[in-house]
Amino acid sequence: MTIQPLVRARNVHKAFGHNEVLKGIDLDVAPGEVVVILGPSGSGKSTFLRCINHLEAIDQGSIEVEGEQIGFRLDKGRLHRLSGRQIAAQRRKIGMVFQQFNLFPHMTALENVIEAPIGVHHQKPEEARRLGRELLARVGLADKENAYPRQLSGGQQQRVAIARALAIRPRLMLFDEPTSALDPELVGEVLATMRDLASQGLTMIVVTHEIGFAREAADRVIFMDGGHIIEEGPPDQVLAAPRHPRTRSFLSRFV
């Protein structure tokens, strides 16, 4: 029996004006797989991640999650853009964690986590609070449910953001450089949370410069440059014995 990919991207192109950022990306991600995308700034990795969630609309190609084309529907051979409400419904299966934590400053940690389950998914408040407490415990913040973002460290805020993304029970989690805004001493606690999620079988696509995380948690490492996937494979191959000169040059900065 062939396992269908959870994510299927084909010939994905994206340009901003005359700047072509993605130049024909093909990628399959299997259910339960952890894929880490590496690459220099401007390589297109964050743009690709945002296209998966339709925060950016692609110009050409297709992206499917669980067999459903994201942002468009195919009718008689032509693509038609979905409405905002239809796109929002699709995003319910995709959680995303950004560089900035984007927590609501006037809400406690628990209130931030349960805001979408109650406001978007119309979950009963008592059920949402129970789930929120479970998720805060899962990311090591059971004792911070009543704390406001200003009372939390950057690492704690990012872990609340992860709990908030998990609250919609996503089939796919996207992480866009989730540790880049953190002080170095706070990076480890967020990466530990992400490693725990990976060990539990959550499908994850992670854009990061954390080579150690890629080595320990990834099933596959993708190296992007200039809007292309230059190299991909298991971590011990791509990180320890890269085949492409551009990958070797990039990784040499981290030795």
The backbone torsions φ and ψ at residue 119, rounded to the nearest 5 degrees and listed phi first, read -75, -30
Rounded Cα gap, residues 194 and 172, in angstroms: 13
Question: What pLDDT shows up at residue 111?
Answer: 97
- SS3 per-residue string spanning 63-107: EEECCEECCEEEECCEEEECCHHHHHHHHCCEEEECCCCCCCCCC
The candidate with the shortest Cα–Cα distance to 88, out of 124, 49, 53, is: 53
> Residue 199 is inside which H or E element, if any?
helix 184-199
Rounded Cα gap, residues 178 and 37, in angstroms: 13
The candidate with the shortest Cα–Cα distance to 79, out of 69, 88, 87, 65, is: 69
C-beta separation of 166 from 135 below 8 A = yes
User: How buried is 78 (Cβ within 10 angstroms: 0-12 exposed, 13-18 middle, 19+ buried)?
Assistant: exposed
Question: What pLDDT shows up at residue 122?
Answer: 85
Its sign, for the CA torsion 149, 162, 197, 179, is: negative
Rounded Cα gap, residues 122 and 175, in angstroms: 25
CA distances from 86 to 68, 81, 91, 143 (A): 12, 10, 9, 37
Cβ atoms within 10 Å, residue 150: 8
Q: What is the pLDDT along the chain (255 residues), one digit of tens a residue?
A: 567 999 999 999 999 999 999 999 999 999 999 999 999 999 999 999 999 999 999 999 999 999 888 888 777 777 788 888 888 888 889 999 999 888 999 999 999 999 989 987 788 999 999 999 999 999 999 999 999 999 999 999 999 999 999 998 999 999 999 999 898 889 999 999 999 999 999 999 999 999 999 999 999 999 999 999 999 999 999 999 999 999 999 999 886
SS3 40: coil
Cβ atoms within 10 Å, residue 102: 13
CA distances from 159 to 103, 132, 194, 221 (A): 11, 13, 9, 24
The candidate with the shortest Cα–Cα distance to 92, out of 68, 57, 72, is: 68
> Residue 228 is inside which H or E element, if any?
strand 228-233
